[in-house]
């Protein structure tokens, strides 16, 4: 694919420190590609300047921390120590009250996300599955829950109010016309941006890196609209794309990034997308008494379960393919050629 070759040539031409940081942003959607990362970052700033700055602070803090703590250069270069920080920054700014101290809090959380990533990589080593965005989720939960105890911070109005789970009120069906909006918003919600344009930019960024990846992302948004509608989830949540970002990530992970693309793995990806919707609904129930959002944990859980289970399957379509590929953009390039 010409575009992919071209974007990877640019990737390699960018000076190393910038390339590492931009790849960190690109890795949010499993793209070890600085051009993709740059498009994501632009999209983030379009979504909101504070979110863009927070993401920048996050990717800088977490990547620099990884260097100082002596974690493997190969992983840092591939941007693996960047994307959790990139997510932690806008997340804390979305859910906590904006204040000057919050910048320090974001830097601390990004550093911790790097340490948690290294620890999770060590734990998951014998199982050969990726830690993915788990460090972002665990760190953000911790920092959001801690705010209950601290006087210097306030919980923002978007954070769910802690309470006891109650049954959903009865809700009418979602009108078909808002489907398109929800679909593109679902992709942008991965980065907490509630905007159609941001979603389209993200999709372009993924498509430049891999058409197959973009196809899985689009399928994820569709699963993330159709299944919640069938199950009767609150219409507003679906419209905002809040039920789509987890299936987007789950289908990209199972259908493209970590299993060998095939008819069978596409079937698995759809199954993973459906279970991710149920997992998100269930996890939201678990977290209600704590007043915390599910973030991307439904995706992380479903991905772990599917990759671990794939390892027991005789169809063995899990070989950590992209795990290596993520490390080596040259291999990635070749894999993409095969795929597209």
Residue 90 burial (10 A CB sphere; 0-12, 13-18, 19+): buried
CB of 42 to a copy of itself, least distance (A): 32
- Binder among 180, 289, 334, 337 for a copy of itself (CB under 8 A): 289
Q: For residue 181, how far is the Cα from the chain centroid?
A: 20
Token readout for 79 is 């941007």
Which of the ranges 55-63, 88-96, 178-186, 273-281 carries the binding residues for a copy of itself, by CB under 8 A?
A: 273-281
Distance, in Å, from the CA atom of 42 to the CA atom of 48, rounded to the nearest integer, reads 10
Which of the ranges 3-11, 35-43, 176-184, 269-277 carries the binding residues for a copy of itself, by CB under 8 A?
A: 269-277
CB of 163 to a copy of itself, least distance (A): 6
- Binder among 64, 214, 279, 300 for a copy of itself (CB under 8 A): 279
Distance, in Å, from the CA atom of 307 to the CA atom of 318, rounded to the nearest integer, reads 7
Closer CB to a copy of itself, 42 or 162, in the complex: 162
Which of the ranges 5-13, 40-48, 52-60, 149-157 carries the binding residues for a copy of itself, by CB under 8 A?
A: 149-157
Instruction: Give the Cβ contact number of residue 2 at 10 Å.
Output: 6
Closer CB to a copy of itself, 211 or 229, in the complex: 229
* Nearest residue to 110 (alpha-carbon basis) of 86, 139, 85, 133: 85
Measured CA angle at 271 (ends 249, 234), to 5 deg: 70
CA torsion, ordered 99, 103, 106, 110, to nearest 10 deg: 180
Which of the ranges 66-74, 182-190, 205-213, 251-259 carries the binding residues for a copy of itself, by CB under 8 A?
A: 66-74
* Nearest residue to 284 (alpha-carbon basis) of 120, 165, 177: 165
List the interface residues with a copy of itself, window 229-268 (CB under 8 A).
230-234
- Binder among 5, 17, 69, 262 for a copy of itself (CB under 8 A): 69
Q: Confirm if 17 and 335 have CB atoms less than 8 A apart.
A: no
- Binder among 15, 157, 177, 314 for a copy of itself (CB under 8 A): 314
Closer CB to a copy of itself, 121 or 181, in the complex: 121
* Nearest residue to 28 (alpha-carbon basis) of 59, 6, 53: 59
Closer CB to a copy of itself, 17 or 163, in the complex: 163
List the interface residues with a copy of itself, window 86-145 (CB under 8 A).
108, 111-112, 115-116, 118-123, 126-127, 141-145
CA 251 vs CA 37, 208, 238, 245: distances in Å = 20, 18, 18, 10
Closer CB to a copy of itself, 97 or 334, in the complex: 97
Q: How many residues bind a copy of itself (CB under 8 A)?
A: 71
* DSSP classification of residue 127: G
Closer CB to a copy of itself, 15 or 172, in the complex: 172
SS3 of residue 201 by DSSP = helix
Site string for a copy of itself, 161-200 (x = CB under 8 A): -xxxxxxx-xx-----------------------------
């Amino acid at each position: 694919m010409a575009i992919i070759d071209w974007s990877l040539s640019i990737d390699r031409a960018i000076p190393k420190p910038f390339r590492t940081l931009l790849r960190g942003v690109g890795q949010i959607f499993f793209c070890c590609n600085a051009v993709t990362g740059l498009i994501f970052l632009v999209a983030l700033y379009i979504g909101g300047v504070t979110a863009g700055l927070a993401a920048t602070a996050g990717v800088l803090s977490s990547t620099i921390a990884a260097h100082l703590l002596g974690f493997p250069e190969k992983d840092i270069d591939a941007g693996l120590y960047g994307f959790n920080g990139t997510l932690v920054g806008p997340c804390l700014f979305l859910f906590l009250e904006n204040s000057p101290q919050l910048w320090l809090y974001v830097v601390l959380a990004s550093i911790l996300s790097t340490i948690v990533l290294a620890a999770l990589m060590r734990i998951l080593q014998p199982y050969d599955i990726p830690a993915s965005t788990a460090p972002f989720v665990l760190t953000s939960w911790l920092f959001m829950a801690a705010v209950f105890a601290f006087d210097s911070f306030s919980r923002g109005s978007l954070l769910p109010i802690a309470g006891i789970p109650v049954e959903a009120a009865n809700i009418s069906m979602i009108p078909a016309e808002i489907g398109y909006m929800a679909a593109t918003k679902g992709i942008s919600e991965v980065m907490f941006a509630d905007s159609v344009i941001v979603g389209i930019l993200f999709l372009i960024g993924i498509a430049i890196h891999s058409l197959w990846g973009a196809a899985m992302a689009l399928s994820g948004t569709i699963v993330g609209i159709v299944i919640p509608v069938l199950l009767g989830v609150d219409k507003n949540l679906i419209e905002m794309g809040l039920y789509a970002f987890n299936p987007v990530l789950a289908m990209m992970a199972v259908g493209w990034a970590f299993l060998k693309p095939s008819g069978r793995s596409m079937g698995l990806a759809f199954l993973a997308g459906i279970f991710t919707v149920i997992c998100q609904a269930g996890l939201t129930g678990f977290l209600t008494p704590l007043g915390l959002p599910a973030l991307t944990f439904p995706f992380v859980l479903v991905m772990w379960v599917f990759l671990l289970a794939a390892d027991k399957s005789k169809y063995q379509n899990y070989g950590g393919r992209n795990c290596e590929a993520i490390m080596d953009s040259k291999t990635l390039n070749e894999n993409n050629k095969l795929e597209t």
